[in-house]
Amino acid sequence: MDLRNLPPDLDSFGRVSARRSMIEQELGADLSALSIDAAKLGHAEEKNCENMFGAVPIPVGIAGPLTVTLSDGTETTVYLPLATTEGALVASVNRGCKALQIGSSLSGCGPVRTASKYHGVTRSIAFQTRNQQPVTRNLIQEHEQEWKAVGEATSSHLKILSYEIDEKDDHVFLTIAADTDEAMGMNMVTIAAQAIGEWIETSFQPHPSAGVVGGVRFITVAANVDSDKKPSKRTHDKGRGYEASAICNVPSAIIQDVLKTTPEALLATAKAKLDLGSTLASALGHNCHAANIIAALYLATGQDVAHVVEGSLADTTVIEMRNSEFGIRDLQISTRLPALMIGIRGGGTTLPAQRQCLNLLLTNNSAFRIPHSELPPCRILAEVFAAAVLAGELSLLAAQSSHTLAKAHKNLGR
């Protein structure tokens, strides 16, 4: 089948329909359920998916409200669009939101509190150096301003924030971290890294008169030190993209009335699951199911869902907070997400349905800014994601501590 040789007068919708018809005829398959409304197509066929012949609908549920105090002190209430086919997930996150929402008003400690920082989007460039690693390292450092200028010239939206140099055998790895503005930016930083790699290979060759054989050979623009779409201890420890955290005190009364468990049982489950179990498995992320919430939010808002791998490196902690005045045991739950690869421009974020979910998530504001907040939209998004993960973590811990996890999936997830 030649799915590219189509009548030139077809628009995107026509091309999608024509390809589907060709595949149905050639393979004898019924693909009618993959048909798509032209108004919902956007530019997916032109920019997001090659040989597009349809779309698979993913159910989207809503959880919330969830009130969050952002890192600049701005308080906002959000609703979470969660795209998933896993029954019980939306209900679980919704219960977590309810517990955090009611608990904040009872405890007097305020809503979920979030924080974030931007590490930049990374790419690692590999060079073979023919046993000249120290020389190459020195050259990279000495010519920093030159190769940075080469990379930054590839996009007016890119700024190199930092870099690291690693050496292994006869190879040198240059990992750059870049600010990619409001885009997630992997394509942007890859193009910059390609230009940098080519410039270094060309510029760092020895002069013939030096009598030195070889020089620097540019091997690849993506050498895995950045661990793009792969788990790594480096990403867990140092962060990548946006690092965000969320924390909240949960009163004992809410644990019992909303979460249907006890502080003692929840603490015991957290110790067994998050601490001991994760340690025995040598897990890079000590969390319950952070990837569940991140994947659902990524799908709904048009993020690159493969980056849920980095998102799964989260760490969740539960500690006891004794209220000496009333003799009540409250708990404090927190989560740290070291690597959220997110944006609000480009990629799937510009498709019609995903754009509306972003709009809904960020307080129904098409400018993607929380009123009165000075934070950039992407940092707001990262902090809201952290708060959402916190709600999901709390609810699952409660379900496991009350031994109702299997029952919930039996009732809602079959």
At 315 the three-state DSSP class reads strand
d(Cα 413, Cα 85) in Å, to the nearest integer?
A: 9
d(Cα 376, Cα 378) in Å, to the nearest integer?
A: 6
Candidate list 72, 75, 86, 166, residue with the active-site label: 86
At residue 308, φ and ψ (nearest 5 deg) are -65, -20
At 336 the three-state DSSP class reads strand
| CA neighbor of 79 nearest in space, from 312, 408, 365, 371 | 365
Contact 228, 186 (CB under 8 A): yes
d(Cα 358, Cα 140) in Å, to the nearest integer?
A: 40
Residue 289 known to be catalytic: no
Q: Which amino acid is present at 367?
A: A
Contact 344, 308 (CB under 8 A): no
Contact 66, 112 (CB under 8 A): yes
Please name the residue that has the structure tokens 């015991």: 268
Residue 201 known to be catalytic: no
d(Cα 161, Cα 144) in Å, to the nearest integer?
A: 12
d(Cα 100, Cα 273) in Å, to the nearest integer?
A: 21
d(Cα 394, Cα 270) in Å, to the nearest integer?
A: 10
Rg of the chain, C-alpha, whole Å: 25
Residue 304 known to be catalytic: yes
- Indicate if the alpha-carbon torsion angle 52, 347, 373, 392 is positive or negative: positive
Candidate list 24, 75, 164, 304, residue with the active-site label: 304
Q: Which amino acid is present at 199?
A: W
State the helix-helix crossing angle for 89-107 and 377-401, rounded to 10 degrees: 100
d(Cα 335, Cα 339) in Å, to the nearest integer?
A: 12
Candidate list 143, 157, 171, 409, residue with the active-site label: 409
| CA neighbor of 61 nearest in space, from 384, 379, 360 | 360
Active site members: 86, 304, 409
